[in-house]
Structure 1
Amino acid sequence: MDIELTKDAEYLLCLMYKAYIEKRKSKIIKEDAKYTGSAENIHKELIPEWAEKDVAETCRELNRAGFLKCLYADNTVCDSHFTDKAIIYMENRFVTGLTSVLEYMAKIKSAVLF
């Protein structure tokens, strides 16, 4: 089955995967490295140039695709973590690791609406 995501979701997924790789390289245990937090947290730490509501909606898209496991409260994402499916997808897609993720992010950044 082919994975279909919007460019926004692809970009946010890459940002989250980059953060995951950096945490693992810093010897953070896998369970903690997979934690992505609330939409507010993701907005502040990973993509402040987006509106927080856009971050929440993109997290919902990643949840529907099976890449994030989200908990909801007050009509937003209050907690989330990367799924094994997301890590496997990204490992297979970017076999050379962080370098290829960063190259792809630079390539699609212009297609992402902020």
Structure 2
Amino acid sequence: MLTKESKTVLYHLYKEYCLRRSNGLSRSASKEFDSSESVQKLLFPDWSVSDVDDCMCELGRNGYLDNHHASDFIYDSSLTDKAIVTMENQKKETLLNVVNFLAQFIP
């Protein structure tokens, strides 16, 4: 289980991954993110570096990021295959949940 904030970080990292892929970057290069500080500057300028780092650590503990630490902060991170698969299937699962919910009301 992830907190809402960590889900938000995962969503934005995946969105950045998709943008990089659409711009022609390789899969491996698109998965790579630098430090939690660089992620904060790029995607979450209104958040503190500490909050972004904490969310990225949570994502790492849950298998969505592969993190490398130095001086108590993440200095290198990459999306895992699990993260990409989870996000790719997110839309399908949401749509199926809506269809199943509506089917309950159709006689």
TM-score by length of 1: 0.79
1:65 counterpart residue number: 62
Could you tell me which runs of 5 or more consecutive residues in structure 1 were left unpaired when the two chains were aligned. 96-114
Residue number among 18, 29, 33 corresponding to 1:32 in the alignment: 29
Q: Aligned letter for 2:14? A: Y
Q: Distance in 2 between matches of 1:48 and 1:94?
A: 27
Higher helix residue share: 2
Q: CA deviation at 1:94?
A: 2.3
2:47 to 45, 50, 53: 50
SS at match of 1:94: helix
1:36 Cα deviation from its structure 2 partner = 1.4
C-alpha distance in 1 between matches for 2:30 and 2:91: 18
Larger radius of gyration: 2
How many residues are matched?
92
Alignment RMSD: 0.7
Greater length-normalized contact order (CA 8 Å, ≥ 6 residues apart): 1
Aligned to 2:72: 75
Structure 2 portions without partners, runs of 5+: 93-107
* Residues in 2 aligned to 1:76 and 1:58: alpha-carbon distance in whole angstroms: 11
- Verify: 1:13 aligned to 2:10, yes or no: yes
Deviations 1:84-108 (A, max 9, x none): 000000001124xxxxxxxxxxxxx
Between the aligned residues of both structures, percent identity stands at 36
